[in-house]
Amino acid sequence: MKNQMRYQKGAATLVVAIVLLVAITLITLFTAKVVLDDIKFEANTYRTAQATSAANYGLDFALRYFDTGGFDQLDESVSPAVAGTDDVVDSVVTSPLTLQDGGSQTTTAQVTFTTDAFRCSGTTSWQNGLVQSTGFSDDGLATRTMGQCVGPISILNGDGPEIPLIARTKIDTTGDANIINRYTNTNIWSADEVEITGANMATYIRDPATNPPADNPATSNNETLDFYLDVDEADYTQLVSNRNLGNGADIISGDPSLRLDAGFFGNFFGADQRASLESIAAGAGQSYADINNAVGESGLIYATGDQALTGGTIGSATSPAIVIVDGDFDFGGNAIIYGLVYVVGVMDVAGTPTIVGSSIVENEGGATSSSGFEGNGTLNLVYWQNFIDDDGQPLPGLTSVIEGSWRDW
C-alpha cells in the first residue's frame, strides 16, 4: 500500500513537470514570434523610410529639373541625347535615380513627367504639369509615390508688353533703328516726344496682304514664329514711319499717363517693387553686377548699376529672358537679347544690336525734356508678343510648385 502511494506521488510530479515544460515551450515560442514580428516590423519601417527618402529625393530632382528649363531640355532623337528640344517629354533623365546611403545599401527613385495631368490643368502645356516620383527600398519590396503640380511664377502683368518700344520720357535717336511689329499696328508708346531723325530709321508693321505660314506638324520647326520674328524688315512688312513720312499711326507720343506715374514699373510687372524681382533673380543665381556675365543665360536676369553690353546673346527663341537693368544701359556692338529689356535709367544704342521681344525705358527721376531712349546706333527691334507662353518651355528659375497639389500615396 505504501509502495502504491509512492508511485502515485511520482506520477503527479511528472505531470507537473510536463505542464511546466509545455508552458515554458509555449512562452519561448510566443516570445520568439513577438521578436520575429518586431524584426519584421522594424524591417518594414526601415524599408518604408528608405522608399520615402528616395521618393523625396526624386521629387526634389524633378522639381529642380523643371525649374531649370521645363520638361523638354534634351534632343533625344539622337543618341546620346544632346542639349536641345525635340518636342517630346524627356525620358533619359527619368531613368531610375540611385542613392547611396554611405554604406553598401542603394535605393532608387523613378521620376515621371506629365504635361497633361488632369489634376494639374487638364490641358497639354509645356508651361505646367505633374512631376511624380516613386521611391524604392534597397531590396525593392517597399515603394512610396509622391507627386506635385508645377507651373510658372507670375512675373509680368498679363502676357507682357503689347508694344515693341515703350518710354516714360522722350525718344530721340540719331541712328537708323528698325522697329518691326508683325502682330499689331503699334510700334512706339512714349510719354513725351518721338523724334525720327536718323536717315534710315523706320518702323514697320505686317503687310496685310501676307498671312503667316502654318506650322508643319511633321517637323519641330515653328514656322509661324519664324515668320513673326524675322529680323529682315523687307520681309512681310510695310513701312509706316520714317524721317520723310513723319510719325505714322503706329506711334503714340505725348501720353501723360506714362510720364510721372510713380507706379510705372508696376504697369508691366506683377508687383511695383523691383526689389522682389531682384531677390528672385538672386535666388536663381542670376543677379549680376556685370551684365556680360549673363551672356548665354535665360530667365529672369537682374543687372545692378549702369551696364554696357556690346556682344553675345542673352536668351533664345526657345528660352527667352526678362532683363532688368537697374541703371543706365549702353547697348551696342552686335549684342542680341531675346525677350524683354527693362531699363530703369537711360538706354543708349550704338553699333548694330538686336532685341527680339520688346524694350521698356523708364528713365527714373529724369526730367520730361530729357531722353530715355537715345543713341546713334542701328537697333533692330522685332516685337515678340506673348513671348513667355509662345510654345516655349517655362523660363529657368521662374517656376514653382502649385500649393495644395501635393500627394503622397
Instruction: Give me the mean pLDDT over the 6-13 stretch.
Output: 65
More confident residue, 98 or 240: 240
| Cα 115 from Cα 120, distance rounded (Å) | 9
Mean of pLDDT over the chain: 85
**What average pLDDT does range 60-88 have in this prediction?**
88
Instruction: Note the pTM of the prediction, 2 decimals.
Output: 0.79
pLDDT in tens, 163-202: 999 998 888 888 889 999 999 999 999 988 888 888 889 9
* DSSP annotation of 13: H
Per-residue pLDDT of 122-135, as tens digits, reads 677 888 889 999 99
Phi, psi of 108 (to 5 degrees): -135, 160
User: Cα-flanking dihedrals φ and ψ of residue 233, to 5°?
Assistant: -65, -10
Q: What is the pLDDT of residues 304-362, one digit of tens each?
A: 999 999 999 999 988 899 999 999 999 999 999 999 999 999 999 999 999 999 999 98
| Alpha carbon 201 to chain centroid, angstroms | 36
Domain range annotation of the chain: 1-155+397-409, 165-383
Instruction: State mean pLDDT over 264-275.
Output: 79
According to the model, what pLDDT value does residue 368 have? 47
Peptide bond before residue 80 is cis, with ω within 30 degrees of 0: yes
Question: Which residue spans within 263-305 are E strands per DSSP?
Answer: 287-288, 299-304
| pLDDT score at 26 | 79
Phi, psi of 6 (to 5 degrees): -65, -40
pLDDT at residue 108 above 60?
yes
Cα–Cα distance measured from residue 162 to residue 152, given in angstroms and rounded to the nearest whole number: 20
Most confident of 91-100, 269-278, 340-349, 387-396: 340-349
Q: Is residue 369 very low, low, confident or very high in pLDDT (cuts 50, 70, 90)?
A: very low
Rounded alpha-carbon distances, angstroms, from residue 206 to 196, 214, 221: 20, 16, 21
pLDDT attached to residue 187: 95
The yes-or-no verdict on residue 33 having pLDDT over 80 is no
Compute CA 15 distance to the chain's CA centroid, rounded to the nearest angstrom: 81
Q: What are phi and psi of 246, to 5 degrees?
A: 80, -175
Percentage of the chain with pLDDT > 90?
Answer: 35
- For residues 72 and 86, give the distance between their C-alpha atoms in angstroms, rounded to a whole number: 7
Q: What is the pLDDT of residues 277-289, one digit of tens each?
A: 888 889 888 999 9
Asked if residues 42 and 34 have their Cβ atoms less than 8 Å apart, the reply is no
**Highest-confidence segment of 346-350, 373-377, 405-409:** 346-350
Q: What is the mean pLDDT of residues 30-39?
A: 73
* Mean pLDDT (whole number) for 19-35: 79
What is the helix (H) or strand (E) element at residue 277, kind and residue range? helix 274-283
